[in-house]
């Protein structure tokens, strides 16, 4: 069973929310970030980039303290106010192609530790510790972890009933997205939401593995420091956006390598032929549309690669994943790529941004060869997580991407 609770969010007033909430700061170019910070005094980016106004480098710990100070300023100036009644927050994001709608709530750390909340990516311990330190100093979380769950009729009905009411927020952003948020504070309804999630046997992290792991480290740390710890404290939970799996959108990541590991084009193709049926498509842009089919762009030409399944051994859910197949048959044995995490020979891009990036990045000379894969399915993601396996890095690009500062969870 999954434990999901309402909480008292800290959030902006209706008249300021469009100015306050922002995309994750990593998604902005330096020019975009500078413009936002220069011309919007309300943007949450001022909180997460507090050293901008000082125009100088500061230590990591000092920067974290400045974040906490700027957040306190936002509360002091009534840009942020905390709700007085615990609530769930139904959030809907609409763009030209997709509608995403789910529930923002407080999710149990124990569920994460007990594998009720399942993982499909590995995490880097150094990053976990750094973000735990950040959370401990600032005392809040402003961007929910994206969790998904099997579609549930009870939750669907509750969401639809609440959406029939006027939303608390309704605003558009410059990326042409419409955002709506409903505050659900009626105790009977919040209890029904909690009861509905209690019947769901598993939740799956779609995006936010490091944030979740860091929250778990923080909970353990704060519990050890609290002699009156009883398990009900806010640090025993983390903020999440829970969305039905039917609404989750998973796109593929392309793979790029800067060189052929000393091989000529013909030598490389000869080695590929051990595991793949190869067709030269010339200038015809080819995208794979079946599992275990790959597109390759090399030396100005497209190739289709079809896995010879009698030459490859499937042992578990991970071995069936196309990104793992590419690693086991091409990247590691032929191109000499041993580690995908920190390797300046390897690059990635998601097809959401550029449907022909496999060609443009190679033609630019930045890379020598590029590979395009089919997208991971929700079934594959769950199979990997259920088996306690971990996908290779940069295997999935998952939407929706969430805004920062829309709701803030304090602990």
pLDDT above 60: residue 39: yes
Measured CA to CA, the distance from residue 100 to residue 399 in angstroms comes to 9
Checking if the pLDDT of 353 tops 60, the result is: no
Sorted by sequence, the CB contacts under 8 Å of residue 349 that are 6+ apart come out as 253, 254, 256, 357, 361
Q: Give the pLDDT score at 145.
A: 98
Mean pLDDT, range 55-69, rounded to an integer = 85
> Which pair of structure tokens corresponds to residue 20?
């306050």
pLDDT band at 342 (very low <50, low <70, confident <90, very high): confident
Q: Quick one: CA torsion of 106, 111, 112, 117, rounded to 10 degrees?
A: -90
When computed from its CA atoms, the radius of gyration of the chain, rounded to whole angstroms, is 23
Chain-centre distance for alpha carbon 148: 11
Q: Assess whether pLDDT exceeds 70 at residue 31.
A: yes
* Residue whose tokens read 């920062």: 404
% residues pLDDT > 70 (the chain): 97
382 near 116, Cβ under 8 Å?
no
What domains sit in the chain, N to C, each tagged with a CATH number?
4-247 (no CATH), 251-397 (3.30.1760)
Q: What is the pLDDT of residue 279?
A: 97
Tens digit of pLDDT for each residue in 70-82?
A: 999 999 999 999 9
Q: Residue 350 — very low, low, confident or very high, per pLDDT cuts 50/70/90?
A: confident
Do the Cβ atoms of 64 and 215 come closer than 8 Å?
Answer: no
Residue range 385-391: average pLDDT? 96
Does 1 score more than 80 pLDDT?
yes
Instruction: For residues 44 and 405, give the distance between their C-alpha atoms in angstroms, rounded to a whole number.
Output: 6
pLDDT band at residue 352, thresholds of 50, 70 and 90?
low
Percent of the chain predicted with pLDDT > 90 = 86
Decide: 298 and 369 in contact? Cβ < 8 Å: yes
CA distances from 47 to 42, 64, 65, 371 (A): 9, 10, 11, 39
pLDDT digits (tens, 9 = 90+) for 284-325: 999 898 999 999 999 999 999 999 999 999 999 999 999 999
Q: What is the pLDDT of residue 59?
A: 84
**DSSP letters spanning 65-82:** HHHHHHHHHHHHTTSEEE
Q: Each residue of 213-268: pLDDT tens digit?
A: 999 999 999 999 999 999 999 999 999 999 999 999 998 889 999 999 999 999 99
192 CB-near residues (< 8 Å, 6+ apart): 154, 158
Tell me: pLDDT of 55 over 70.
no
* Average pLDDT along the chain: 94
Residue 105's nearest CA partner among 407, 322, 326 is: 407
Per the CB < 8 A criterion, the answer to whether 83 and 409 are in contact is no
Strand positions, DSSP E, 142-285: 145-149, 169-173, 177-184, 203-207, 237-244, 249-257, 276-282
Nearest-5° angle of CA 27, CA 32, CA 38? 125
- What pLDDT does residue 27 have? 87
CA 290 to the chain's CA centroid: 25
Nearest to 346 by CA among 373, 318, 327: 327
Reply yes or no on whether the pLDDT at 58 is more than 80.
no
Each residue of 110-161: pLDDT tens digit? Answer: 999 999 999 999 999 999 999 999 999 999 999 999 999 999 999 999 999 9
**Model confidence over 159-195: pLDDT tens digits?**
999 999 999 999 999 989 999 999 999 999 999 999 9
């Amino acid at each position: 069973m999954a434990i999901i609770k309402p909480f008292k969010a800290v959030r902006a007033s209706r008249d300021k929310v469009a100015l306050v909430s922002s995309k994750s700061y990593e998604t902005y170019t330096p020019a975009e970030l500078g413009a936002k910070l220069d011309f919007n005094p309300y943007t949450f980016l001022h909180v997460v980039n507090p050293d901008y106004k000082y125009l100088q480098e500061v230590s990591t710990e000092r920067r974290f303290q400045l974040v906490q100070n700027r957040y306190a300023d936002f509360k002091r100036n009534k840009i942020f106010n905390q709700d007085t009644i615990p609530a769930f927050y139904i959030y809907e994001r609409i763009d030209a192609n997709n509608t995403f709608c789910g529930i923002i709530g407080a999710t149990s750390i124990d569920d994460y530790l007990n594998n009720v909340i399942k993982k499909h990516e590995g995490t880097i311990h150094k990053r976990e510790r750094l973000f735990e330190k950040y959370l401990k100093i600032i005392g809040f979380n402003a961007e929910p972890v994206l969790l998904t769950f099997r579609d549930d009729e009870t939750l669907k009905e509750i969401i639809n009933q609440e959406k029939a009411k006027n939303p608390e927020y309704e605003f558009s952003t410059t990326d042409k997205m419409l955002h709506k948020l409903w505050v659900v504070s009626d105790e009977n309804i919040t209890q029904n939401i909690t009861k509905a999630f209690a019947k769901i046997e598993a939740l799956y992290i779609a995006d936010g593995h490091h944030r979740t792991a860091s929250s778990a480290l923080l909970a353990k740390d704060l519990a050890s420091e609290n002699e009156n710890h009883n398990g009900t404290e806010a640090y025993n939970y983390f903020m999440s956006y829970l969305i039905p799996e039917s609404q989750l959108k998973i796109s593929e990541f392309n793979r790029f390598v800067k060189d052929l590991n000393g091989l000529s084009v013909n030598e490389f193709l000869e080695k590929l032929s051990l595991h793949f049926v190869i067709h030269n498509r010339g200038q015809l842009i080819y995208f794979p549309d079946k599992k275990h089919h790959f597109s390759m762009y090399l030396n100005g030409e497209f190739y289709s690669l079809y896995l010879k399944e009698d030459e490859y051994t499937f042992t578990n859910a991970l071995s069936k994943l196309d990104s793992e197949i590419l690693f086991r048959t091409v990247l590691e044995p032929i191109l000499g790529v041993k580690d995908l995490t920190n390797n300046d020979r390897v690059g990635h891009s998601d097809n959401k941004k550029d449907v022909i990036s496999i060609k443009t990045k190679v033609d630019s000379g930045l890379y020598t060869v590029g590979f395009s894969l089919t997208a991971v399915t929700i079934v594959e993601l769950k199979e990997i997580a259920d088996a306690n396996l971990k996908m290779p890095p940069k295997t999935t690009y998952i939407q929706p991407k969430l805004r920062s500062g829309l709701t803030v969870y304090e602990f």
